[in-house]
Chains A and B, each alone.
Chain A
Amino acid sequence: MKRLPQIALLPDGKRLHLQDGPIDLVIEASGSEGEVRAAYEAAARRFNGLLDELCGELTELRKAADPACSALRGVVARRMYAAVAPFAAGHFITPMAAVAGSVAEEILGAMLAEARLDRAYVNNGGDIALHLTGAEHFAVGLMDRPDHRGVMQTMRIDAGDSARGIATSGRHGRSFSLGIADAVTVLAKTAAQADAAATVIANAVDLPGHPGIVRLPANQLQPDSDLGARLVTRSVGALGEGEIDDALNAGVNRAQQLLAEGLIEGAALRLLGETALVGSTGIRASALPGFHESPLEKPAHV
């Protein structure tokens, strides 16, 4: 049976939606009409067969990355490996930690190879590759709980900023987390780097051995998880303010290391209503448009 990826414009007629298996992309490009059409056609072309390409090397992609070398061959697989390799020496990490961002980057690259765009994004379930030129910018809304509605804060990314990738990781998302962060959002030069770094920092937001945190082996939940029998966070009980600070600080320390190594541009860490910021995040603590009565709280840390 032939499986066909879903390729369609969203009902607003502006955004392109591509879906195949677990890959789910929402894409928007701005520029002249012809360029946008060419970009969307290029995105769809590149998307066809991309999942099969990845799955051809899935076994290898699910293994711990060796910091020194990799037998991976596909261009997306190589990008995934390159993004996680800087973390592989000290910790267990598989190239899968960067899959969403790497795919987003690949599709954006295909679009830009075929069309001249003022501005574009490829959003792969929250891991986003960006393109900005001239005076363009993006305003990005942050959420810490995908199951709750409402935007927590906004951040602004200008064409002059170095960040072209955004990713969020945390225990509420589709992937498992070894840590307890509700959401860690990372800005990095590429989406693949942001994806890998968000995973690493979210894992670091933790209180090892805390009795209120329920953890289960990943493969008990998802038999073929790349995390194997490693304990992943299922629920977080009540934590004291001091404990929240401790867990966030552990994540902040990790993020600051990555910032110093040039692996990220900035990060926003969120745990149980507390926020910590590292580096440049473009977060505006001002009110959202239209809600002058309810200014958002300023981030509490750093």
Chain B
Amino acid sequence: MTDATVAGGDKIRCDACPVMCYIKPGAAGACDRYANHNGELVRVDPHIVLERTVSHGGRLVPFQAGGDWDGKIVHEPNVFVTAIGAGTTYPDYKPAPFIVSSEVDGVDMVTVVTEGIFSYCGVKVKIDTDRYLGPETATVRAEGEAIGHVTTSEYGSQMLSLGGVHHLTGGSKKEGRVTCDALMDLSNCKPVELTIDGGATVVVQAGYPPIVNGVAEERMRVGCGSATIGMFAKQWHGKVDEVVVVDDHITGVLSEHQAGKLLDIPDTGIKMKGRRSTPGRYFQVADPGTGWGGTNISDPLSVLGPFNPKEARPGLTMLMVSTTGEHAAYYELDEALRPIQKQMPPDLKFSVERIQENCEPALCTVLFMGGAGGSLRAGVTDNPVRLTRSVKDALTRVTSGGAPVYVWPGGGITFMVDVTQMPAGAFGYVPTPALVAPIEFTLRLSDYAALGGHMDHVRPLASLRDNTETRQMPYMPGGRA
């Protein structure tokens, strides 16, 4: 422990060592070990880096737990050796730009196969929003460079496909570098700003809501406009004459909708723009955008034509709401049958809140996808194709940073993993450019020997405990992930 004296302003003077640094709030001293946190001298723990970067030898090996391996694929669910940090020998626990180390086979600087270098890799990004991000196949850019494209949208979500070998190595040098940086940041759960040609700017961070054109998305829609009518028709019945749920895909109209018909809700003379699909369901009431319900409108009345005087009457009440409940307005028709916005009655406000309550929080999710079919396997076995077959036969379980992966059927070992399940900072890069990702193969020792494994490099798990970081994993699925 050490003391510090407050010296002028909110600088403090550290006396941990004779350098006696003056340290500003939020900054660290020359050693990077002590910092000024709101006027207090605190020790900044360097050991995380130490634990992460300590080298643990040069080969991928299966780990024998405590010497009495019983052949179970997952012997100790809480202890799992990840490949993170296994890839490079990194003797200094301060980020040193230069490394000298004496290691395996006459090569001083060793990079091992357990941190695979993936030239064939990318991320699939699911963005929970109905807001229009851009047309399908539109180019997605980071720092102005093309790094991927908009792909088919999914339920309540817009999907991006980023990276891949063509952007990494097929374009200009800068394109490759920017793609690599963006993939690595997305995979390490850092925020990345993406712009979509002919569309929006969106900040994507795995596990966080998307920020579309500067506005953080809060909710996924509860359903399309028609589904929303179906879900809430009974709750609206008797409280309001008409409900329009504005949605970019299918806008719903209560009085015309099958749900309204079943409740004997009378016609209201409402006239919708857009193309009618089936009664009470309208396509293309407006253009896609970032306004109401994923359309480009800010005034919901713009999707309505004049009310039909044969059915409409002065005083008729109408609720207009978006599929997330984020936008809502209440109207009454005046003598000229024009909708006039009024304060929303409490029970309708309650129904809007109920829509919001039923929406799931909007998130960005990032799946890393990489192919481990090539030379990486040679670090595991003398006969690489046996490893591939072993994975296919479910004898070998593949994980990435300890997280479960989905291995695509077909050739190679192409897998997908949810980056939020992986430990922090699991991904790196090489300037090829390509991403470095952890990959572990877990299998029975006997199976390992049978497929030509490097048996002379097998080490007991206990030998790693002293110098590696042990983390609790969210869960460890048994069998084939």
Contacts and interface: CB of A to CB of B under 8 A. Distances in A.
A33 interface: no
A261 interface: no
A58 B101 CA distance: 32
Interface of A: 1, 3, 10-12, 14-15, 20-22, 24, 26, 28, 30, 51-52, 55, 58, 119, 121, 123, 125-128, 130, 138-144, 146-152, 154, 166-168, 170, 172-174, 183, 185, 221-224, 238, 241, 272-273, 288-297
A243 B48 CA distance: 38
Contacts of B101: 28
B97 A289 contact: no
A163 to B, nearest CB: 12
The binding surface of chain A is classed by DSSP as: loop
Contacts of B177: 272-273
B96 interface: yes
A291 B117 contact: yes
Contact of A296 (B19, B105, B432): B432
B91 A148 contact: no
Contacts of A20: 17
Given A273-B173, A273-B431, A290-B111, A140 B375 contact: no
B99 interface: yes
A22 B432 contact: no
A125 B94 contact: yes
Nearest to A23: B31
A11 B430 contact: no
Nearest to A152: B431
Interface in B190-229: none
Interface string B21-36: 1111001011110000
A195 B375 CA distance: 38
20 contacts: A21-B31, A24-B94, A28-B101, A51-B17, A55-B18, A58-B18, A58-B19, A123-B99, A126-B92, A126-B98, A139-B109, A140-B100, A147-B95, A150-B429, A150-B431, A288-B111, A289-B105, A290-B112, A291-B117, A296-B431
A223 B88 contact: no
A125 B16 contact: no
Q: Which of A20, A168, A272, A290 has the most CB of B within 10 A?
A: A290
Contacts of A295: 432
B97 A183 contact: yes
B431 to A, nearest CB: 5
Interface string B413-437: 0000000000001011111101010
B18 A52 contact: yes
A289 B110 contact: yes
Top 6 closest pairs, chain A to chain B, by CB: A149-B428, A21-B17, A146-B95, A11-B467, A126-B96, A55-B18
B91 A123 contact: yes
A32 B414 CA distance: 47
